[in-house]
DNA sequence: CAGGATCCCTGTGGATACTG
DNA sequence: CAGTATCCACAGGGATCCTG
């Protein structure tokens, strides 16, 4: 894992570790719908991601038991990724962050306007 | 800011942006107590942080209106950092993450034990 | 005391090509 | 289809020295 010595006190980073990564929030947001997705299906839903990063993030999430990887022995290969029951516990947190983020954008925008007003007066 | 083109959809990253950074969670955790802290006081409470990183993180948090920087015109200089009312809205999220993180450690530990059992059997 | 200025190292992530 | 394997760029962060 990434955190060698978390000197007690801050398990927050443990949670962060699970959702930090350039595309992890998007992946989680998609899989939290409950529907399983195939590899390339995910790629298509995340336009700018590279297969490398998709693979890496999926592996990390799997290792954390947040998503499940189901391999179907057939040709052509078929692999499906889905959120685990345990992974669903991240849902509320992600939602809260999404909400806070949206509100934050508004908050910062209004502060911008304040400064604009004081400039224009 | 860090995210140039967040293609709508994911304000989660906006929230993440506010709390991601090697020491931000700790800083926030400390300041969320409500008590104002001086610069070196914070340093002392975060053993391994460098003044450079402390400064940078504080500046970013200030820019986001999450903490307040109060400069007292006196010599020797005195600067106090405190959580803003707005910044307090991050509290519940950090708390939730902390709780999830603690639980996650337990969860992963128990999975480890499972494998240990299957190995030892 | 509370920083600013520099230099440098590492990890995260991007681009591209190849495979079972 | 679902990946691996390489190479490479850059930003986040560390160490050190200096200052109003």
CA distance linking residue A84 with residue A89, whole number of Å: 9
Q: What kind of architecture, by CATH, is found in domain A7-89?
A: Orthogonal Bundle (1.10)
CB contact (8 A) between residue B104 and residue A10 = no
CA distance linking residue A47 with residue A74, whole number of Å: 27
Task: Please classify residue B91 by burial: count the beta carbons closer than 10 Å to its beta carbon, then call 0-12 exposed, 13-18 middle and 19+ buried.
Answer: middle
CB contact (8 A) between residue A93 and residue B93 = yes
Q: What is the pLDDT of residues A70-114, one digit of tens each?
A: 999 999 999 999 999 999 999 999 999 999 999 999 999 997 777
Q: Which tokens in the block code for residue A18? A: 């699970």
Find the CB nearest B65 among A92, A93, A111. A111
Q: What is the pLDDT of residues B32-76, one digit of tens each?
A: 999 999 999 999 999 999 999 999 999 999 999 999 999 999 999
Q: Between A36 and B2, whose confidence is greater?
A: A36
Region A52-68 average pLDDT: 98
**Closest nucleotide (CA of A50 to C1')?**
C14
Region A41-64 average pLDDT: 97
Region A46-62 average pLDDT: 97
CB contact (8 A) between residue B104 and residue A15 = yes
Contact A58, A81 (CB under 8 A): yes
- Model pTM? 0.89
Domain ranges within chain B, ordered by starting residue: 7-89
């Amino acid at each position: 894992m990434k955190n060698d010595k978390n000197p007690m006190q801050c398990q927050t980073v443990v949670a962060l570790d699970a959702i930090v990564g350039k595309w992890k929030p998007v992946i989680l947001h998609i899989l939290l719908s409950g529907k399983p997705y195939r590899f390339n299906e995910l790629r298509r839903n995340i336009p700018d991601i590279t297969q490398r990063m998709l693979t890496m993030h999926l592996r990390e999430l799997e290792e954390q038991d947040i998503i499940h990887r189901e391999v179907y022995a057939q040709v052509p290969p078929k692999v499906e990724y889905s959120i685990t029951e345990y992974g669903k516990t991240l849902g509320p947190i992600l939602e809260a962050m999404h909400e806070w983020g949206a509100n934050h954008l508004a908050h910062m925008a209004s502060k911008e306007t304040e400064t604009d007003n004081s400039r224009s007066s």
